[in-house]
Amino acid sequence: MLKQSAKELLVYIEQKIQNGDYKDSVHKITLITTRNVIRKILEEEF
Protein backbone atom coordinates (compact mmCIF):
# COMPACT_ATOMS: atom_id res chain seq x y z
CA MET A 1 0.00 0.00 0.00
CA LEU A 2 1.28 3.45 -0.89
CA LYS A 3 1.71 6.07 1.78
CA GLN A 4 0.44 9.46 0.72
CA SER A 5 0.20 12.76 2.50
CA ALA A 6 -3.04 14.62 3.05
CA LYS A 7 -1.80 17.31 0.65
CA GLU A 8 -1.28 14.72 -2.08
CA LEU A 9 -4.77 13.39 -1.45
CA LEU A 10 -6.11 16.92 -1.71
CA VAL A 11 -4.41 17.38 -5.10
CA TYR A 12 -5.83 14.06 -6.28
CA ILE A 13 -9.37 15.04 -5.28
CA GLU A 14 -8.97 18.47 -6.91
CA GLN A 15 -7.93 16.80 -10.16
CA LYS A 16 -10.92 14.47 -10.09
CA ILE A 17 -13.26 17.44 -9.64
CA GLN A 18 -11.60 19.53 -12.36
CA ASN A 19 -11.51 16.64 -14.85
CA GLY A 20 -15.13 15.66 -14.24
CA ASP A 21 -13.98 12.24 -13.06
CA TYR A 22 -17.03 11.41 -10.94
CA LYS A 23 -20.11 9.25 -11.36
CA ASP A 24 -22.88 11.80 -10.89
CA SER A 25 -23.69 15.08 -9.16
CA VAL A 26 -23.97 13.40 -5.76
CA HIS A 27 -20.47 11.96 -6.14
CA LYS A 28 -19.20 15.40 -7.19
CA ILE A 29 -20.71 16.99 -4.08
CA THR A 30 -19.14 14.26 -1.94
CA LEU A 31 -15.73 14.99 -3.46
CA ILE A 32 -16.16 18.72 -2.88
CA THR A 33 -17.22 18.15 0.72
CA THR A 34 -14.28 15.82 1.31
CA ARG A 35 -11.91 18.39 -0.18
CA ASN A 36 -13.30 21.11 2.06
CA VAL A 37 -13.00 18.96 5.20
CA ILE A 38 -9.38 18.06 4.40
CA ARG A 39 -8.54 21.73 3.77
CA LYS A 40 -10.12 22.76 7.05
CA ILE A 41 -8.27 20.08 9.02
CA LEU A 42 -4.94 21.04 7.43
CA GLU A 43 -5.51 24.71 8.23
CA GLU A 44 -6.59 24.18 11.82
CA GLU A 45 -4.65 21.18 13.03
CA PHE A 46 -1.34 21.13 11.19
How is 16-28 classified by DSSP, letter by letter?
HHHHT-SSSHHHH
pLDDT in tens, the chain (46 residues): 567 899 999 999 999 999 999 999 999 999 999 999 999 998 987 6
* Cα angle 43-33-4, degrees, rounded to a multiple of 5: 60
Neighbours of 5 (CB within 10 A): 9
**pTM here?**
0.84
pLDDT at 1: 52
pLDDT at 9: 94
pLDDT at 2: 64
